[in-house]
Amino acid sequence: MALATTFSAAPAALATRRRIATRSAVGPALGLLGLALWLITVTRADSNAMNGYGLISVLGWTYFVGLLLVVAAFTVELSARRLRAWALLGLLVVLAIYIYGTASAVEPTAVLTDSWIHAGFIQYILAHGQPLEGYDARFSWPGGFSMTAALVSFAGVHSAIAFAHWFPLAIELAYLAPLLVIARYSGVGERAGWLGIALYYCTNWILQDYFSPQALNYLLFLVVVALALYLWRPVPLGPSGFVEGSWRQRLTRTRRALTGDRLLGRDATPTQGPLVTTTLLVLMGLIFLASSMSHQLTPYALAVALPALVVTRRFGRPEMWVLLVALAIGWLSLGASNYWVGHLGAIFGSVGQFGSKLSSNVTSRVTGRATHLAVVESRIGLTAVVYLLAAVGAVRRRADSRTIEALVVAPFALLAAQAYGGEGLMRVVLFGLPFVGLLAASALVPGRAGEIPSVADSLRATVGSLARPLPGRLGLGGARDPREARTARAVREALARWGPTSSRVAVAVVVGAVAMVTTLVRGGNDAYESFTPGEVAAVNYVYDHVQPGQRIGLANYFMPIGQRAVGTINEYVAGSATSPTPVSRIVKNLEHNNLTWVILGRSQSNYGVEVDSYPRDWMSHVRAALLAHGFRLVAEWSTASVLEKS
């Protein structure tokens, strides 16, 4: 009888195992299908067909379907009863490829003029063994350039521009390791941690991961925060004497944040032994030194992040902050003296001028044609939405320490001191974005274990409470109406049935929506920030023929120039970077500034059309005017032309 029961149960067990195996394969299968659609997309995309909406205008339906499949796969894995780290990690990599690798795969060259200029700085160091003093403020922080020069020499490549094309994807994947550590030790649940990283990747529209020192220093910033969260945990707070959650208790705990013990790091306890702690502190000190020598802003971002970690009981060695400040100010005072001598107004002149900073960081950027306005306004909207979701997460989550919230707020101190050339607010958002992502995830997934908690959990509890008669809600007893009880039971059953599904749908909708918007706004400027082979050939033609002392003229900033002849050949930009310059003034500037060469390209033309609202044929008028006033056409490609003074 028992044997017969065993044989009859075997098919049922086998069917159950098959169902589990099928469900386990859904996530990886969807992810692989999404990756295949990405490959089809980038193979078919034609960057020459790009319009004012930038990269998104040349991506077909395969891109969006594939991206949604990857988001669905991530949601499936995140909602599984047992999380599989390898599957979630693989899907995060595929998400990063979609957001950060598509432009590199579709566009033929490295984006942004600054990437090419940085390659020129590195080439100068390779040729001369030292930076060029007094040439550019960025040369006053040469650490990253010097390190890359050593890498170029070791790799045996012709120029650092060989690294620039795929650099955004490579550096964003490098961020993944410290982001995983931050998510694990930040105090959020495991599922919220994975979702927070996905939200970081799907909302980072701030194009600061191009070939640049700030991209490398952002990695150093994340590593320092990850080390701090890994090495210390908060000492449990003692009883306050007031009701849990009351305003008196909150006020008491807030006052404790300013006590001597807290500021000396005694409210944080180490998680590792003395040897490991000391070794990682030495590593942290070396990072401080490297960052102080290689970027103007990141050391000060760390200088406001470390006190936030101290007051929230996640950093036990406040003397490391003193070391950081000493290194940052020491390098600014001595190593970067060529920059600040005569430029103190640029460093300190905007302290407290919040109106001008708001104008330079936000208002002045909302200009141009409808396509450009749509991109800029979408960036503002996306940032507002993710911060609003983070605010919900901050209220909804229960935490022993509010470290994440402090790390979101701390970077705003940088904006109070410096506008950073109109990019200060973007840098503030970037430094806080990993922690904003974790808070936003906590709004959707506040639990610490098990399946994705239902967003309807709180609603269910509220319905249950409201369904009780008033005397019962007040703890006074009293009979319950049977009809109310049946209604409440029906509502709870409906929420129990549909709650988990609605939570999964909410996660998928939020991640998918922000990923779509980020695709638009991140590549929205690529019509003029990416360059064609013809434009690169035009610049190289001039470099091959220009003589020392001659000057190269550009209608505006957007050309792949600066990678050669640093310090020998000077470039002149006729158009203003802060406000539209009349086309007639651009022509006069190019005619009357002792220029031997003028390079005109499609990217310059697109910038004038999209941002400065010039007519679409404005570049033709510039070219015709120059040819009529002493210049001659010496070389031409479909997207660029070179003029030489006769």
What ranges in 362-481 are assigned the alpha helix state H? 370-396, 403-409, 412-417, 424-444, 457-467, 470-473
Q: Is the pLDDT of residue 637 over 70?
A: yes
Query: Global pTM?
Result: 0.87
pLDDT higher at 163 or 483? 163
Q: Tell me the mean pLDDT in the region 4-21.
A: 58
Q: Is the pLDDT of residue 538 over 50?
A: yes
Note the pLDDT of residue 498.
45
CA–CA separation, 370 vs 435, rounded Å? Answer: 33
CA–CA separation, 535 vs 599, rounded Å? Answer: 9
CA–CA separation, 610 vs 572, rounded Å? Answer: 22
Q: Is the pLDDT of residue 144 over 50?
A: yes
Q: Which helix (H) or strand (E) holds 289?
A: helix 274-294
Note the pLDDT of residue 476.
37
Q: Which long-range contacts (CB under 8 A, 24 or more apart) does 573-576 make?
A: 575/608, 575/612
Sorting pLDDT into bands at 50, 70 and 90, what band is 445? confident
Note the pLDDT of residue 360.
47
Q: Is the pLDDT of residue 217 over 80?
A: yes
Helices 457-467/482-522 angle, 10° precision: 160
pLDDT higher at 166 or 259? 166
pLDDT higher at 544 or 464? 544
Tokens (6 digits) for 207:
């194009």
Note the pLDDT of residue 12.
60
Q: Return all residues near 485 (Cβ < 8 A) that are at least 6 apart.
A: 467
Note the pLDDT of residue 304.
96
CA–CA separation, 626 vs 643, rounded Å? Answer: 8
From the list 445, 489, 447, the residue with the least C-alpha distance to 467 is 489
CB 564 within 8 A of CB 543: yes
Note the pLDDT of residue 8.
52
Beta bridge partners of 572: 553
Q: Tell me the mean pLDDT in the region 330-355.
A: 63
Q: Tell me the mean pLDDT in the region 124-144.
A: 88
Q: Tell me the mean pLDDT in the region 604-621.
A: 94
Tokens (6 digits) for 138:
């960025």
| Residue 7: how many other CB atoms lie within 10 Å | 9
CA–CA separation, 24 vs 76, rounded Å? Answer: 9
pLDDT tens by residue, 25-51: 888 999 999 999 999 999 999 999 999
pLDDT tens by residue, 44-63: 999 999 998 999 999 999 99
pLDDT higher at 170 or 256? 170
Place of tokens 């650092």: 160
Note the pLDDT of residue 438.
96
Can you give the three-state secondary structure of 538-591, one letter per residue?
HHHHHHHHCCCCCEEEECCCCCCCCCCCCCCCEEEECCCCCCCCCHHHHHHHHH
State the amino acid at position 316 in one-letter form: G
Q: Is the pLDDT of residue 198 over 90?
A: yes
CA–CA separation, 195 vs 176, rounded Å? Answer: 13
Report the residue count for the chain. 646
Place of tokens 């909804």: 396
Q: Tell me the mean pLDDT in the region 546-562.
A: 92
Most confident of 458-467, 493-502, 607-616: 607-616
CA–CA separation, 620 vs 628, rounded Å? Answer: 12
Q: Is the pLDDT of residue 213 over 60?
A: yes
Q: Is the pLDDT of residue 490 over 80?
A: no
Q: Return all residues near 572 (Cβ < 8 A) that are at least 6 apart.
A: 551, 552, 553, 554, 589, 593, 595
CB 93 within 8 A of CB 33: no
Note the pLDDT of residue 567.
87
Do the strands 597-601 and 640-645 form a parallel or antiparallel pair, or are they unpaired?
antiparallel
Sorting pLDDT into bands at 50, 70 and 90, what band is 138? confident
Domain boundaries, given as residue ranges, for the chain: 531-645
Q: Is the pLDDT of residue 14 over 70?
A: no
CA–CA separation, 511 vs 488, rounded Å? Answer: 33
Note the pLDDT of residue 502.
74
CB 452 within 8 A of CB 503: yes
Note the pLDDT of residue 16.
56
Backbone angles phi, psi at 597, to 5 degrees: -130, 145
Q: Is the pLDDT of residue 123 over 60?
A: yes
Place of tokens 């990269």: 55
